[in-house]
Amino acid sequence: MGTWTGKKVAVLHGGQSSEREVSLKTGAACAEALRGRGYDVVLVDVDRDVATRLREAGAQVAFVALHGRFGEDGCIQGLLEAMAIPYTGSGVLASAVGMDKVLSKLLFKGLGLDVADYRVFPASRAGAVHGADLPFALPVVVKPSCEGSSVGVTLVKEASGLADACREAARWKGDVIVERYVKGKEVQVAVLDGQALGVIEVVPANEFYDYAAKYTAGTTQYFYPARISDGEARRLMDAAETAHRGLGCAGVTRTDFILVPDGTAFILEVNTLPGMTATSLVPKIAAGNGLDFPSLCERLLDGAALKA
């Protein structure tokens, strides 16, 4: 029997971020899996009245299936701490820093991980960013600092497109990051309870793993295990464990890297609430380790706790 058998489990999904639709799918899949294991589950679509909804539902533990702002950035975690409702995944600080790409890049550098060259611009300057402002050549990747799922991300090859890409990123939360485009294999590592499960390789139809590639079935190829050497896989898993531990994460995370031909693994970000849909990577990696989806969800629920 699981730790929370016989307790009211609230699966928090939906929310108010740009990733709402993905979160609805994640929540529905996780709720179905947990019900199949015999848990008493209520789905809670998170809005401004979420505290009232949780009280009315009699929630005794929360399975967090949110993505993006207000769900993955420490906000809902802080509310659950204040309400003394144990919850899955990382705590307030790890969630907040993991969501902020500027802060997390500084942390990764401090941990000795490889980070691609980048520059940060305030959103108010977005329309005035020019190639001359960058100490590296195009192409570049432009992204908002506090969004997930590649929302607001643009690959820029020509200087004429830089300002428009920065303006697009500025529509979203946070500063604008302009990052040197690194060409290599897109690989991702799942870490569960501090231990790396494996490395999956992603081959998108487009030039990088954008929102459409992440959530449209059939647009991307996946290879598990990744088509890399054992040594490269071990280094990637070590780096992901270092990032997971350095951020102070709990539960499951997915760390994204670009592996270049000389073997350098540039870390992009740590996802503290990775997707759990039919096309998501963490369930694929877990399955490759003999951990089916219901078992993965139950393992995450078992780890629910207050972290503050």
Q: Which run of H or of E encompasses 237?
A: helix 230-247
Is 215 labeled as catalytic in the residue annotation?
Answer: yes
DSSP bridge pairs for 62: 10, 87
How far out from the chain centre does Cα 217 lie?
Answer: 19
d(CA 182, CA 170): 22
From the list 17, 271, 280, 298, the catalytic residue is 271
Catalytic residue among 90, 275, 280, 298: 275
Could you say which of 186, 210, 269, 298 is catalytic? 269
Among 17, 90, 149, 280, which one carries the catalytic annotation?
149
Would residue 289 show up in a list of annotated catalytic residues for this protein?
no
What are the residues whose beta carbons fall under 8 Å from the beta carbon of 239, sequence distance 6 or more?
A: 113, 189, 255, 257, 265, 267
- 19 in catalytic set: yes
Q: Which residue among the candidates 18, 69, 254, 280 is catalytic per the annotation?
A: 254
Of 39, 256, 280, 298, which one is the catalytic site residue? 256
Is residue 27 a contact partner of residue 18, using CB atoms and an 8 Å limit?
A: no
Active-site choice (17, 19, 179, 198): 19
Q: CA–CA distance from 14 to each of 42, 67, 105, 117, 130 (Å)?
A: 13, 8, 28, 34, 37
27: which 2 tokens? 């929540």
Catalytic residue among 148, 215, 246, 251: 215
Catalytic residues: 19, 149, 215, 254, 256, 269, 271, 275
